[in-house]
Structure 1
Amino acid sequence: MKAIDTLRNKLSGLYDAISRYPLTVIFLIVAAVVNANAINRGEPYYKLLLTFVVGACLGFTLQAAFERFFEKFLHRVVSMVICVVLTMGYFLIVNQYTTTSLETWIRTSVAVFALVIAYIWVPVIKSTVSFNESFMSSFKSFFNSLLFSVVLFTGISMIIAAIDLLLFQVDGKSYMHALNIISILFAPIYFLSLIPVYPGISNKTLFKESQDYNRENITRSSSCPKFLEILLSYIIIPLLSIYTVILVIYIAKNITGKFWTDNRLEPMLVGFAITVILIYILVSRIENKFAKLFRKIFPKILVPIVVFQIVSSILRTQDTGIMHGRYYVILFGIFAAVSGVFLSFIPVRKNGIVAMLLIVFALFSIIPPLDAFTISRTNQQKMLQSVLVKNKMLLDNKITPNPSVSQEDKKIISSTLNYLEMMGYTKNIDYLGKDFNLYNDFYDTFGFYQYEESMYRQESVHMSLNQQSPIIISGYDALVVLNFYFEKDNPTPSNKLCDFKSSGKTYTISNINSFDSGKLWLSNDKGEELISVNMKDVFDMFDTSAQGNYQISKDSMTADNSTFTKENDNAIISLVALNINIQKSNSEHPYSGDFYVLVKIK
Structure 2
Amino acid sequence: MKRISSEKIVSELKQIIFRFPLTVVFILLLTAWQIYTKESVGTFEPTFLLLIIGIIFSATSQLFYERFFKQRVQMRWILYGLVIIFVLLYRFYLSSSHSLIDDSWNFYSIPGIRTMILYFVAVILFIWAPTIKSKIKFSDSFLVTFKTYFITSFFSIILFLGVIFTFSLFEFLFFTIKMDWFFYSSVFIFCLFAPILFLTFIPDYFSIEPESINEERTVEQSVHMPKFLHHLISYILIPVMAILTGIIVVYILINLRGKFFTENILEGLLLSYAINGWILLILADSIENKMALWFKKIFPIALIFVLIFQMISTFLQIREVGVTHGRYIILMFGVGSVISGVWYIFKKNHLQLLPIVAIIAGLISLTPPIDALTISVNQQRGRINDVLNKYDMLIDSNHVTPNPDVSINDQETIQESLNYLSEIRALNQLEWLPEKYYYREDEYLGFVTEHNSWGQDGNYREEINQANVSLDEEHPNIPISEFEQIFDLSLGDNFDDFSESVDLKGEAHVINVQLDEEFIIEMDADRLEEPLEFDFSYVLEDFKGRGSLSLPREKLTFTEEIDDYQVQIIIRYLNISGNYMQMDFYLLL
Overall identity of the aligned pairs, in %: 32
Tell me the residue number matched to 1:64. Answer: 63
Against the structure 1 CA distance between its residues 106 and 456, is the aligned structure 2 distance closer, same or farther, given a 3 Å change threshold?
A: closer
Tell me the residue number matched to 1:224. Answer: 225
| Native 8 Å contact 1:134 1:222 kept in 2 | yes
Tell me the residue number matched to 1:541. Answer: none
Q: CA deviation at 1:88?
A: 1.1
1:381 lines up with 2:381 in the alignment: yes
Tell me the residue number matched to 2:279. Answer: 278
**In structure 1, what residue type is equivalent to 2:135?**
T
Against the structure 1 CA distance between its residues 12 and 261, is the aligned structure 2 distance closer, same or farther, given a 3 Å change threshold?
A: farther
Q: 1:100 aligns with which of 96, 105, 120?
A: 105
Deviating more after overlay: 135-144 vs 163-172: 163-172
Question: What per-residue deviation string (whole Å, max 9, x for no partner) do you get for residues 277-317 of structure 1?
Answer: 11111010111000111111111111111011111111111
Q: CA deviation at 1:123?
A: 1.0
Against the structure 1 CA distance between its residues 12 and 446, is the aligned structure 2 distance closer, same or farther, given a 3 Å change threshold?
A: farther
Against the structure 1 CA distance between its residues 35 and 457, is the aligned structure 2 distance closer, same or farther, given a 3 Å change threshold?
A: closer
Against the structure 1 CA distance between its residues 274 and 40, is the aligned structure 2 distance closer, same or farther, given a 3 Å change threshold?
A: closer
**In structure 2, what residue type is equivalent to 1:137?**
V
| Native 8 Å contact 1:124 1:198 kept in 2 | no
Tell me the residue number matched to 2:438. Answer: 438
Residue 97 of structure 1 aligns to a residue in which SS? Answer: helix
1:184 lines up with 2:197 in the alignment: no
Residue 392 of structure 2 aligns to a residue in which SS? Answer: coil
**1:190 and 1:415 mapped to 2: Cα distance?**
47
Tell me the residue number matched to 2:314. Answer: 313
| Native 8 Å contact 1:57 1:116 kept in 2 | yes
**1:5 and 1:381 mapped to 2: Cα distance?**
56
1:137 lines up with 2:144 in the alignment: yes
Tell me the residue number matched to 1:123. Answer: 130
Q: CA deviation at 1:127?
A: 1.1
Against the structure 1 CA distance between its residues 399 and 164, is the aligned structure 2 distance closer, same or farther, given a 3 Å change threshold?
A: farther
| Native 8 Å contact 2:437 2:443 kept in 1 | no
Q: CA deviation at 1:444?
A: 4.4
Residue 88 of structure 1 aligns to a residue in which SS? Answer: helix
| Native 8 Å contact 2:423 2:455 kept in 1 | no
Tell me the residue number matched to 1:510. Answer: none
**2:461 and 2:202 mapped to 1: Cα distance?**
53
| Native 8 Å contact 1:40 1:173 kept in 2 | no
**In structure 1, what residue type is equivalent to 2:259?**
K
**In structure 1, what residue type is equivalent to 2:325?**
H
Structure 2: any 5+ residue segments left out of the alignment?
Answer: 99-103, 464-543, 545-577, 580-589
What is the alpha-carbon root mean square deviation over aligned residues? Answer: 3.0
**In structure 1, what residue type is equivalent to 2:105?**
T
Q: CA deviation at 1:451?
A: 3.2
| Native 8 Å contact 2:35 2:187 kept in 1 | yes
Question: What per-residue deviation string (whole Å, max 9, x for no partner) do you get for residues 102-150 of structure 1?
Answer: 2112212221221121111111211122111111111100000010111
Tell me the residue number matched to 2:500. Answer: none
What are the within-5 Å matches in structure 2 for residues 513-524 of structure 1?
none
Q: CA deviation at 1:67?
A: 0.5
Tell me the residue number matched to 2:356. Answer: 356
Tell me the residue number matched to 2:120. Answer: 113
Against the structure 1 CA distance between its residues 285 and 437, is the aligned structure 2 distance closer, same or farther, given a 3 Å change threshold?
A: same
**1:111 and 1:26 mapped to 2: Cα distance?**
21
Q: CA deviation at 1:441?
A: 4.7
**In structure 1, what residue type is equivalent to 2:14?**
Y
| Native 8 Å contact 2:399 2:432 kept in 1 | yes
**In structure 2, what residue type is equivalent to 1:420?**
L
| Native 8 Å contact 1:13 1:194 kept in 2 | no
Structure with higher Rg: it is 1
Tell me the residue number matched to 1:325. Answer: 326
**2:273 and 2:132 mapped to 1: Cα distance?**
28
What are the within-5 Å matches in structure 2 for residues 67-86 of structure 1?
67-70=66-69, 71-86=71-86
Against the structure 1 CA distance between its residues 461 and 106, is the aligned structure 2 distance closer, same or farther, given a 3 Å change threshold?
A: closer
**1:457 and 1:50 mapped to 2: Cα distance?**
23
Q: CA deviation at 1:248?
A: 1.3
**1:318 and 1:4 mapped to 2: Cα distance?**
56
Tell me the residue number matched to 2:574. Answer: none
Tell me the residue number matched to 2:475. Answer: none
What are the within-5 Å matches in structure 2 for residues 373-412 of structure 1?
373-396=373-396, 397-412=398-413
Tell me the residue number matched to 2:548. Answer: none
Structure 1: any 5+ residue segments left out of the alignment?
Answer: 464-554, 556-579, 582-602
Against the structure 1 CA distance between its residues 273 and 149, is the aligned structure 2 distance closer, same or farther, given a 3 Å change threshold?
A: same
What are the within-5 Å matches in structure 2 for residues 539-550 of structure 1?
none
Question: What per-residue deviation string (whole Å, max 9, x for no partner) do you get for residues 159-179 of structure 1?
Answer: 222233332223574322221
**In structure 1, what residue type is equivalent to 2:233?**
L
**2:331 and 2:213 mapped to 1: Cα distance?**
46
Residue 365 of structure 1 aligns to a residue in which SS? Answer: helix
TM-score normalised over the length of structure 1: 0.70
Tell me the residue number matched to 2:52. Answer: 53
**2:462 and 2:52 mapped to 1: Cα distance?**
40
**1:461 and 1:149 mapped to 2: Cα distance?**
36
Tell me the residue number matched to 2:371. Answer: 371
Tell me the residue number matched to 1:30. Answer: 29
Question: What per-residue deviation string (whole Å, max 9, x for no partner) do you get for residues 535-573 of structure 1?
Answer: xxxxxxxxxxxxxxxxxxxx9xxxxxxxxxxxxxxxxxx
Question: What per-residue deviation string (whole Å, max 9, x for no partner) do you get for residues 433-465 of structure 1?
Answer: 2x244334533444203433868999x9999xx
